[in-house]
Amino acid sequence: MTPSTAEHAQMSVEEFEQIAHHAPETVKLEFINGKLEVKPMPDGNHEEIVLWLQALCMQSRPELGLYGSRGLKVESYRKGRAIPDGTLAPRRHFAGHGEWSDADGVLMVVEVTSHDSDTDRRDRKDKLAGYAEAGIPVYLLIDRDADTLTVYSEPKNGAYLESPSYPYGATVELPAPVGITLDTEELKDYTL
């Protein structure tokens, strides 16, 4: 987090959690980089991409679950709150947790970009930094604007050291601790 946003947060984490707890089910709220964010509801292609990835993860690693809409504590000192499109962790990892879980034990988070004006800042910058600061080993960004997958890995000092990108249709090897190979040909069906 940059000093200016840390010093000028819109509210405390505790205040955010109260607001998020009482928000209607049709709204997903996040607290990233000291700012309240409204996460847009996904369209049909967005949902199909998440379903595609869930199926591949279950086939390759049945001991893991790709959880949707799992609230995570991210950023330095767990001061951010994000709801990734997918959170890969061992099955039953979140049993007994409340609305927001520590990122410890999470193997990968996934974001599928939305077609809105905030996606660049939210998915490609703010969440990227927040997930790296939390030490999440892999961040998979499925970018529907560029028709690419970017695999961020090796978090260190609040940044990912590796970030190769692949076009839809490529075979993508997700690094350890994920260890899943993705055949991304199907993603071509979900372009606009």
pLDDT of residue 121: 73
**What average pLDDT does the segment 82-88 reach?**
94
pLDDT of residue 143: 94
pTM comes to: 0.83
Report the alpha-carbon angle 15-102-182, nearest 5: 120
- Strand residue runs (E) in the chain: 28-32, 35-39, 64-67, 71-74, 80-82, 86-90, 100-102, 108-112, 138-143, 148-156, 159-162, 165-167, 171-173, 181-183
- Between 121 and 93, residue with greater pLDDT: 93
Chain-wide mean pLDDT for the chain? 88
Output the six-digit token pair for 177.
């601790």
Is the pLDDT score of 104 beyond 90?
A: yes
Which CATH fold topology does 43-190 show? tt1808, chain A (3.90.1570)
pLDDT of residue 11: 78
- Percent of the chain predicted with pLDDT > 70: 91
Is the pLDDT score of 27 beyond 80?
A: no
pLDDT of residue 60: 97
pLDDT of residue 23: 77
- Percent of the chain predicted with pLDDT > 90: 62
Is the pLDDT score of 84 beyond 60?
A: yes
Residues 6+ apart with CB under 8 A from 171: 181, 182, 183, 184
pLDDT of residue 5: 43
- Between 12 and 162, residue with greater pLDDT: 162
Is the pLDDT score of 6 beyond 70?
A: no
Q: For 38, list phi and psi in degrees, rounded to 5.
A: -105, 120
Q: Are 32 and 82 in contact (CB under 8 A)?
A: yes
Is the pLDDT score of 42 beyond 90?
A: no
Report the alpha-carbon angle 145-155-110, nearest 5: 35
Q: 124-167: per-residue pLDDT in tens?
A: 888 899 999 999 999 999 999 999 999 999 999 999 999 999 99
Neighbours of 68 (CB within 10 A): 16
**What average pLDDT does the segment 38-56 reach?**
88
Is the pLDDT score of 57 beyond 60?
A: yes
